[in-house]
């Protein structure tokens, strides 16, 4: 039975889900050395923000299949190291969407009305109304940097409060922004015109210190900045200087470059700043949601199923997975098949998306095809995470093309593998209830569902050859489940595809090739 280590506090609902498929050990507060010592026993690791999963921990986790972060960010996981080891890293990108959005909105209102300082004043026994004159958000301009799930919810609520909306997001279409009531603008214009600026972007090399002395100087002296996204997006030293100098009106921060927040000039400021200890996801509902979401993904991976929110599987988000999941299985099956037909070392893999499939994202299908192609060599060591890396290290060149004009079926996938022993190709489609069918092998049209054990022959289309092959297989006690012949012209070359109940006995392949008219034969195990 699989073993899962939970090293940070998570809701019991998540532990209950994990317990369905694994032995779950909850060990909180482990030091790095302690985690390194025991992680080799576990198939999965579930964390929140306290545990830092370093390269050393990942290398010690020799059995790890998945690391689950019950939250949005994965800053505390060495994702490249996990990817190199073929370990899936998952998060919960939507589990705390509402909680984080509501916290950002609360910060906007609290900052506008000086609620924290006013509250503290009354509790001290004062009644100083004049010191806490605030500002209305109605008809003010809110600049939303990042229109993902959280930023979109903030924008939607802010619109109902009567705010004008500017937005910057290079990955969002103008139509989508307009649906949210936002005007897409360049970042400099947003900084110049916004009364409030709320950040909803990941921390990357490009966004680190996005808010700095230069960008702060572009803002209105009354502008207020809210960051409930990631620490490090704001240069905290520059922000403190701008607030002290009255260059901007205020700031509200829930995240910091170093957490917990240590010695910082931000602590010495007054009512112009609000500081909270990373509470964006800290609602009871959000903690249940992220625990369930990530636990379900760990459970699925341990059962051999794909994770819906893997951060290190190229191009594979939850929406894409739902749409392409059947085609990924098709791609993996075809990759496995063409790899065995090609034999030897594959040097080039051509992948062509045809018909309606030509309009879909190709990257997940490429990854799935490579996983299938490499399975015979690597077995369980290859997965959706490391397939591209393994292929690159083996010098396999991948060529992707699309052809929407090929419409024999609604959508087909064509794979051609060229290796040291020659070139072979296969084409497949999904029929009926998403059943995989082979529709072409080496340019010969067929229509057959793949089976675990298959035999393919290249032969001359001539009378009696099918009977001879059937008799030969029968003499070796090989039972044929189904058979189909594909040919281009009568009495020309043809391909025969047979599904058989058991693997071929040793030596029979050589006997098959001796049958007059059969030029070559290949066995495949899927």
Would you please indicate which residues are annotated as catalytic (active-site) residues? 230, 259, 278
Residues 6+ apart with CB under 8 A from 402: 352, 353, 354, 358, 362
Compute the Cα dihedral for 215, 217, 222, 227 and give only its sign.
positive
CA 229 to CA 27: how far, in whole Å? 28
Look at residues 6, 49, 46, 51 and name the one whose alpha carbon lies nearest to residue 26: 6
Look at residues 218, 195, 199 and name the one whose alpha carbon lies nearest to residue 136: 195
CA 289 to CA 191: how far, in whole Å? 34
Residue 362 corresponds to which tokens in the numbers above?
């190709």
Q: Are strands 480-487 and 435-441 parallel, antiparallel or unpaired?
A: unpaired
Residue 439 corresponds to which tokens in the numbers above?
């529709």
Q: How many CA atoms lie within 13 A of 275 on its CB side?
A: 16
Look at residues 319, 298, 301, 318 and name the one whose alpha carbon lies nearest to residue 309: 318
Strand order in the sheet with 397-403: 397-403, 346-355, 411-419, 422-431, 435-441, 444-448
Residue 25 corresponds to which tokens in the numbers above?
């050990």
Look at residues 425, 326, 396 and name the one whose alpha carbon lies nearest to residue 368: 326
CA 347 to CA 401: how far, in whole Å? 17
- Alpha helices, DSSP H only, in 219-362? 236-244, 284-302, 318-342
Look at residues 34, 80, 73, 74 and name the one whose alpha carbon lies nearest to residue 55: 80
Helix and strand counts by DSSP (H, E) for the chain: 17, 22
Residue 243 corresponds to which tokens in the numbers above?
């607030």
Q: Between the CA of residue 331 and those of 241, 289, 336, what are the distances in Å?
A: 56, 32, 9
Longest CA–CA separation in the chain, Å:
105
Contact 195, 165 (CB under 8 A): no
Cis bond before residue 260 (omega within 30° of 0): yes
Contact 57, 30 (CB under 8 A): no
Within a 10 A sphere around the Cβ of 31, how many other Cβ atoms? 8
- Alpha helices, DSSP H only, in 255-317? 284-302
Enter the DSSP assignment of 39. Answer: G
Residue linked to tokens 């390269």? 55
Enter the DSSP assignment of 277. Answer: S
**Burial 496-525, CB ≥16 within 10 A → b, else e:** bbbbbeeebeeebeeebeebeebeebbbbe
């Amino acid at each position: 039975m699989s073993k899962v280590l939970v090293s940070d506090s998570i809701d019991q609902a998540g532990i209950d889900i994990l317990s369905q498929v694994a032995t779950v050990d909850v060990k909180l507060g482990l030091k790095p050395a302690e985690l390194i010592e025991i992680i080799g026993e576990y198939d999965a690791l579930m964390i929140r923000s306290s545990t830092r999963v370093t390269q050393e921990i990942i290398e010690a986790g020799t059995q790890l299949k998945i690391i689950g972060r019950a939250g949005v960010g994965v800053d505390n996981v060495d994702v490249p190291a996990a990817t190199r080891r073929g370990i899936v890293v998952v998060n919960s990108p939507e589990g705390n969407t509402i909680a984080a959005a509501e916290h950002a909105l609360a910060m906007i209102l609290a900052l506008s009305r000086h609620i924290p300082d006013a509250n503290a004043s009354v509790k001290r026994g004062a009644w100083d109304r004049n010191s806490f004159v605030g500002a209305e958000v109605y008809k003010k301009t809110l600049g939303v940097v990042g229109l993902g799930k959280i930023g979109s919810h903030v924008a939607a609520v802010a619109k109902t409060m009567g705010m004008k909306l500017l937005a910057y997001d290079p990955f969002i279409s103008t139509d989508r922004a307009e649906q949210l009531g936002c005007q897409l603008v360049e970042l400099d214009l947003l900084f110049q015109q916004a009364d409030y600026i709320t950040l909803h972007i990941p921390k990357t090399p490009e966004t680190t210190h996005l808010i700095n002395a230069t960008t702060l100087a572009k803002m209105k002296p009354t502008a207020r900045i809210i960051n409930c996204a990631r620490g490090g997006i704001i240069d905290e030293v520059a922000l403190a200087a701008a607030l002290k100098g009255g260059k901007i009106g205020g700031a509200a921060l829930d995240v910091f470059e170093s957490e917990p927040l240590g010695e910082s000039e931000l602590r010495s400021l007054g009512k112009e700043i609000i500081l909270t200890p990373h509470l964006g996801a800290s609602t009871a509902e959000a903690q249940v949601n992220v625990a369930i979401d990530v636990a379900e993904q760990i459970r699925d991976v341990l059962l051999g199923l794909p994770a819906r929110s893997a951060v290190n599987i190229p191009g594979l988000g939850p929406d894409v997975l739902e749409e392409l999941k059947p085609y990924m299985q098709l791609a993996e099956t075809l990759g496995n098949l063409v790899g065995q037909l090609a034999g030897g070392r594959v040097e080039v893999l051509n992948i062509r998306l045809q018909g309606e499939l030509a309009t879909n994202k190709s990257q997940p299908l490429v990854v799935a095809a490579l996983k299938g192609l490499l399975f015979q060599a690597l077995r369980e060591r290859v997965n959706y995470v490391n397939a591209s890396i393994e292929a690159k290290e083996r010098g396999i060149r991948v060529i992707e093309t699309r052809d929407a004009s090929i419409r024999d079926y609604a959508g087909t996938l064509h794979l051609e593998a060229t290796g040291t022993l020659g070139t072979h190709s296969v084409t497949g489609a999904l029929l009926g209830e998403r059943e995989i069918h082979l529709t072409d092998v080496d340019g010969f049209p067929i229509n057959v569902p793949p089976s675990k054990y298959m035999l393919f022959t290249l032969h001359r289309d001539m009378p009696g050859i099918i009977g001879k092959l059937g008799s030969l297989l029968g003499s070796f006690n090989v039972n044929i489940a189904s058979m189909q012949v594909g040919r281009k012209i009568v009495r020309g070359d043809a391909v025969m595809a047979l599904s058989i109940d058991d693997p071929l006995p040793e030596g029979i392949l050589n006997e098959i090739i001796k049958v007059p008219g059969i030029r070559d034969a290949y066995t495949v195990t899927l």
